Structures are given as C-alpha cells and as structure tokens.
Amino acid sequence: MKILATNKKAYGEYEILESLEAGIVLTGPEVKSSRRGSFNLKDSFCRFKAGEAFLVNSYIAPYVQASYNNLDPSRDRKLLLNRREILRWFSKVKEKGLTVIPLKVYLNPKGLVKVEIALAKGKRVHEKKDKIKEKVERRETDRFLKRGGRE
C-alpha cells in the first residue's frame, strides 16, 4: 500500500470517531498526477449531495504530459460508497454536528486509488492546548528519567 497523500492536520484538529475506505472517481491524468504524489488534502472535507458523497477542496496538480488540461484541479470528486454507508454517515453528520474528513489517499494492492475518510468531531481550542501541554510534560519527564533523575 503506497500512501499518496495524508491529511496531517486532521488528527490535531479533529477527534476521529470512525473511519472507512472509499473509492474515488478520477480521470486518467488525475490518476497519473496523484501517483506522482501531487495530491493535497489540506482543508478538504466530504459533502453529501443527492444521495452521493463528494470530496471537496482536494487539489490534484495538473499532469503536464496530458493532452488536455481543462479540468479544474480543485473540483469536487465523487466518492464510491455503498448506499447504506452513505445513509448511515449522512444521518450521523446531520443530527450530531459531526463532519466527514479525508485522512489519507493511497493505492491499494490492486493499484486502485482509495481514500480513507473518517467521521470526526472538531476539537475546541482548550482541548488542543491541553494536548500540547501533555506532550511537553511527557517530553520533559522522559528527558529527566533519561539523565538518571538528576537535574
């Protein structure tokens, strides 16, 4: 499994509740470009329209060798999910104030481009600050113990 892109901010800004693998509809030049690592998930999210799921704000750089480059690099891309999965996640997003975000884009063993999406809840500012404080304290205690408990 080759990872093409990751959403690094997702774990810091959201609490991940559940994740799922989804296919994505891409054109030929988009597949070539994404295989080169030109996929960006920054600020992207999933939206539900007319019983279908779409990946919004994802960016795939145009493939230079393509004979046609008339596609918008940040267009909405359809996600391939089962109807049951779409309805279940849509109902959770609608009633609980959750959101669906992409975590990573990768090639599966068959060579198909897949997206790992997650049902997530946004973290508050104080939760983020508390997590940073915990990390700093843990680092300091590890450093203290490594030195044998002396200053």
The per-residue pLDDT string of the chain (151 residues; one tens digit each, 9 = 90 and over) reads 889 999 988 888 888 999 999 999 988 888 888 888 888 898 899 999 988 999 999 998 888 887 776 678 888 999 999 999 999 999 888 888 789 999 999 999 998 999 999 999 888 878 778 888 999 999 999 888 888 766 6
The reply to whether 140 falls in a domain is no
- How many Å is the Cα radius of gyration of the chain? 19
Q: Which CATH number covers residue 22?
A: 2.40.280.10
The reply to whether 134 falls in a domain is no
Q: Which residue has the tokens 């500012």?
A: 125
Instruction: State pTM to two decimals.
Output: 0.77
Report the first-to-last Cα separation within the chain, whole angstroms.
Answer: 45
The β-bridge partners of 89 are none
The reply to whether 25 falls in a domain is yes
Tell me, rounded to whole angstroms, the distance of Cα 145 from its chain centroid.
36
Find the domain containing 29 and state its range.
2-123
The reply to whether 143 falls in a domain is no
The reply to whether 96 falls in a domain is yes
CB of 47 closer than 8 Å to CB of 76 = yes
The reply to whether 52 falls in a domain is yes
Q: How many domains does the chain have?
A: 1
Report the C-alpha gap between 46 and 58 in whole angstroms.
10
Report the C-alpha gap between 16 and 28 in whole angstroms.
32
Return the pLDDT at 15.
87
DSSP 66: -
Report the C-alpha gap between 114 and 57 in whole angstroms.
17
**Which bin fits 21, alpha (ψ -120 to 50), beta or left (φ > 0)?**
beta
The reply to whether 151 falls in a domain is no
The reply to whether 132 falls in a domain is no
